[in-house]
Structure 1
Amino acid sequence: MKAEEALSRERSLLESVMQTTDVMLVLLDPQFNFPWVNPAYAETCQLKPEEMVGKSHFALYPDAENEAIFRTVRETGKGVFYKDKPFVFPDQPERGVTYWDWSLAPVKNSSGDVEGPVFSLRETTKYKKVEEALRESEERLRLLGDNLPDSAIYQYVHEPDGGVRFLYFSTGIERLNGVNVRDVLRDPDTLYRQVPPEYLERVSEAEALSARELSDFDIEVPMWLPDGQLKWMRLHSRPHLLPDGRTLWNGVQIDITENKKVEEALRKSEEHYRMLFTNMAEGFALTEIVYDKDGKPYDYRYLEINPAYELNHGVKKEELLGKTLLEVFPNTTTTTIEKLGEVALSGHPTNFEIFSQVVNKYIDVYAFSPEKGKLAAIVRDITARKEAEDRLKETLDNLENLVKERTEELEKAYNSLKESEKGLAEAQKMAHIGNWDWDLITGEGYWSDELYRIFGRDPQESGATYDELLNYIHPDDREYVGNAIKKASSEKPHGIDYRIVLDNGEERNVHVESEVIFDEKNIPVRAKGIVQNITERKKSEEKIRNLANIVESSNDAIGTMSLDGVITSWNKGAEQVYGYSAEEILGKTASILAPPHLSEETKKLTERVIKGERIHIYETSRLRKDGTIINVSITLSPVFDSHGKLTAISFISRDITERKRVEEKLRESEEKYRNIVETANEGILIIDDEATITYANKKLADMLGYTLEEGIGRPVWDFADEESKTILKQNLDKRWQGVNESYELKLICKDGSPLWALINAKSLFEKDGRFMGTVSMITDITERKKAEEALEKMDKVRIKEIHHRIKNNLQIIFSLLDLQAEKFEDENVMEAFRESQNRVISMSLIHEELYKGEGTDTLDFSVYLKKLGENLFKTYNLSSKNISLSMDLEKDTFLDMDTAVPLGIIVNELVSNSFKHAFTEKQDGEIRIRLCREGENREMNMSFFSLTISDDGKGPPEDLELESAGTLGLQLVGILVDQLDGELKLKRTQGTEFTIRFKVENAHDIL
């Protein structure tokens, strides 16, 4: 009674769960009609459960592929499971493509026939979309990280033992350091070994300081690559303190080798320039042009002078710098101001001589504009030359002396010119500028040393011809340069940029300024110009252009604002995020983007940046133009000018509204399912691929008497005895193969008591198909098992009692036949009674064996045959005759009653016939009984046997036919063989041999 109540309660519980669960459950008949659906499935179909009962599943949702799957399950009896299977509702097209986890399991009757499948579904569309969005986002970020030029992104953590472990490194590290990403992740020292020992201590100190103060880690170090190459790297990362006390850094490694080379070249160039600047004999001054309100130059502010300028003008450097020419030298002639003004306006250099009343000397002035808004002057004292010229005029009569003096002066001038040319060559080398001069009449040309170097030639070579020069032009630029040369003959001097290709294949960018000089007849007679190597500048411009494109094409809002919060730049991403165009927002304060309750936030964040702090990934709310409040992640960084002065603040804002919404939904979903799991009436267990418990709910812990802490991390084998471990291993092997099914298992509680559980297990796989563990729902069926065991014991006792009573009743029948036979003297009648008694005995022996045995359904047929043969031998009193009984019986052959009873009667009839008819009086002979297994069909789950009864007597009559046998015994044998669906054959050589072949189900055979 208790067992029935328990089963009833369990049935009610299951029905309640199936009616209320959000898992869609459907029971289908063999024709795939709906006998039953739960509310969740009906609701998805926009119908009521009662409206669906009796309808065809594929009439409602026709799908040839799914129908084929359903038929396969019905025909093979094997269930299937599909993950994220797409489906489009024909009656709900607005839903688009939906995704489902669904399984189809066969329902079998007691005979093992499939009555229909159970169809269970769970929609995974929203999770699929979230997963896809997260995957795409991760892929984009990974793609960006892997393709950053000259950079690699990394993430590493300081472990409690002081060690360093890299969690992530973009593939850029393979280009930068010549190492494999997997090697770095496996062994962090792969990178540290590349750092020279003298720099390792600096790296360690910088890391320790960053971890201690949670400040940025920023250091430049050299690293030796596996190929022997030395590179300079900048390591910059920001630390975060994890909840478990570890420190995590997110950072970037940048190859600054080229920057270091440029810095070194600039340093050397600066040294050369400074040496030339300091030691040149001519005075040099660099000034800033001062314009009036009409844009005309009227004065020049000193920015730099050399010692020769101080000496020539008798004024100290500190007295000049920052002041204008007219402030220091108010008596400067109008001619000087006008000449300098021409250069400032036109940009063309000029050379003139004047007598300076300021220094009371004749000076030669070469003025040029190195860049817009600047003017430089090289001043040479030519007083001596002027005085020599004056003396030459005064002393024409003393020509010899004058020539001598002039020669000396020319020598000095020549030496000075040589020094100037040397200084100019040094200046050209530092600035990568070469000059050329071409006589259009004679065809002769001149190249400076630096021009040779720009074109990759040796200065000791002869000058290149005009045609050679054209050959250096990049093929794609020749037409452009040719057109520019044609224009140069009729237009003012101008500059162009184009590419050249050196003899070694190297490609360079050059800037060319040229001028054509005409004679009095306006015929071009000479051309001159300069060529500057601007390759590095072009590369820098390209990098800047690429960065600008990245900023402009970014979906993030990127821009800058002044220190008082006024927005000064605004990219396309910002227009998308905030809804304002650049024209609408530029010049306005950033507070326009703040919701009312955060009106002071932008100001406070700006103040923090001004104080030197960098705001990184600060999550807050912002206001779009249309009034919508959005969630954003903001990064604010200081912007410095070339002097290190803070001039502006850059911002990067990312719209994370959708991410926040998804996170909240995921959090709510996780909380909901966590509550469901934690409050479930079943135990829930998750194990990994090594059978270690990674999760268990409280219900399971309570069932086994453990705390969660005592269970998590332990192997599942700890909770099973030796017998159960074998079953558990077999089922885990199936999970590895993706086969999901339910099974019963005996677990061991903490107090040692057994707990019978119904385990519904499902395999878990990674996206790449790698097995990662199982999740199981565990139901306590201990009480049910106890009830089943009690019922089984009662059933065994009841059946044994039945066998006992049948045996006794057959004995009574045997005795009645024996008493009745005593009334007759007719031998034929008495023989009939004896045959009937033998048949009763053959059946009685079966029930006797079943009564004695442990089981109640099967008996050892070999043991039974032995007893039956011996009993027949005694019945026919053959001990006085020389007839023997030989038996060759297959051991452990267990048959049920439906097979054993007919076979027993068959053996009784055929052996009795041999005893009665096979041998003549005083004839010796042998009767043989042989039982053997002939084979097995695993697919049909059947075993095949043969039973042979033979003798070496005189044999049956020649006219005996089994199909038309006249005796009752042989007729009975034929009927019983047909009943067994067997085959009977008669052999007449050397006596008589009957062979019966039959088959039995393995479930009723050897146990």
Structure 2
Amino acid sequence: MFSGEYRHIHKTRGWVHLEAVGQSFLNDPSVRGVVVSERDITERKRSEAALRKSEELYRLLTENMSDVIWMVDKDFNTVYVSPSVEKMRGYTAAEAMAQSVEDIMTPESLAKMRAGLASRFDSETGAFNPESRAYEMEQIRRDGSTVWTESVVQGLVDAAGGFNGFMGVSRDITDRKAAEAELRESEEKHRALIAGLPDMVVRFDLEGRHLFASDNVEAVAGIPAAAFMGKTHRELGFSEELCRYLEASIRGVTETGKPYESEFSYDGPRGKRVFNWRLMPEHDGRGELRSVLSISRDITEHRRLEQEYERLFQEMLDGFALHEIICDELGAPVDYRFLAVNPAFERMTGLKGEEIVGRTVLEVLPDTEPRWIEVYGGVALSGKPTFFENYSAPLQKHFEVAAYRHAPGQFACIFTDVTERVRAEQEIRQFKTIFDTATMGAAIIDLNGMVTYANRSFVESHGYAMEEVLGKSFRIFHNGEQLAVTDRLFVQVVREGAFPALEVGHCRKDGTVFPMLMTGTLVRDTEGRPKCIASTAIDLSERKVLEEELRQAQKMESVGRLAGGVAHDFNNMLGVILGHAEMAMDQVDPEEPLHADLSEIRKAAERSANLTR
């Protein structure tokens, strides 16, 4: 017997495939031939060719696709896995087929897979459900890392309908899982951000129904955020007036597609509050409006502070003025315009806001020096603040000025009228000049007895240099004996406010003792509290010498007057003697011895008279 296949030309069909089965009877004398039976197998051949082509296509597909096709039997032995497993897990197909499911899946995914398998069996009948299901599994790669896969698994059944394994397609979704994790993290961050914001965030659909509401709406409205979902303000029970306002605002955004911002008041559990409300249209990928995002901020405190600021602006003691800088075509400042002034500015300058606001400084004060326009222009254009003192010749006042940029092209000035202070400082400088050059000593001592000021005369009279005196105790100017007096005077000044002019002993640096005529006065601050002691001191050393010389002169004058009186009386007596002697001489003959005696008397009297001249 023999068989074979061959092609044969058909009259109308062309080439056909035939299968022949023959039996040889050549050795049979009665037949001596071959009996052949032929069957047309053209359709089978075509089917086999189509199957081969399909298998080649399937193999080409499975070997080149990125997804992994696999099949396991009822004992979970891998019977097939496509070559793409090597790209996904790093194992060749042969290596992967040798692995158990424990080698393939992480413990968590294996437990999930087993739970999924158990759910396919009916708990009562034990019947297996082979329907296709999708699972997300984490598989282990050759390098120890893991890859997330999405597997579509189809159950396999035998002829009796019993469980016979699984066939599935697994796709690498690691990037998708990472993106989902990032998205979850981003959503958590945004949710945390929204939860941490003081603003209320709400999203509306085009009909004004709530799609989202942040949790903090409950604190304002007394309604949980979840209760807002799918409802309008009207359905939530808000007042008719507020509903009309909110609905009109949302409708305005949906109709125009433009953002909207306003303020409204709401009387809720926390009392009447003022809110800044911003509405922004949200569009989908095609540019079509799909929702409206709302951000509401409680600005009640801000508005209260604004009111207080306005009250402060009106009542502040310092002058305030807001200006706009004016530049030429080259951008150089040439003038500035008054935009606002407060009442204190008006009091200080005598300029009225209604008369100067809107006008330029050169229109109001034509004599304003150009350098001030340059200074203020620098502040407005550069943003760098400045602080200075300025004398306004037109107003004849001194001002302390702080200037800063309020907005681009604008500057604000805070003025403090320091005219009285400047004049006082000038007077102080004048008095200091007088005291510094005075021959009379002057010193200021704090309540701890330390010298805070001393003029040159005071310092030099004690033989010290200025740096040796300032910051030192006044006790360095007195010895131990003198301190008993000066300590008493110090206490007296503090208690009684002064002590009168008094001669007090002082001590020079070299130890020399000398007298000074001193006064002491307690100086108080503006609140009447003792601040320091002002003292004047005049060195009496030269005066003491002059007084001694005067006393000696007065003594000599007294002696002179006494001697003059004696001489006068003596001369009178000598005149009597001399007169009588001359009269006697006239009566006695010159030859007589008595005449010579009288002559000697006269001579003696004349000599005596000469002694008093």
Q: Which protein has the larger Cα radius of gyration, Structure 1 or Structure 2?
A: 2
TM-score, with normalisation over the residues of structure 2?
0.47
TM-score, with normalisation over the residues of structure 1?
0.31
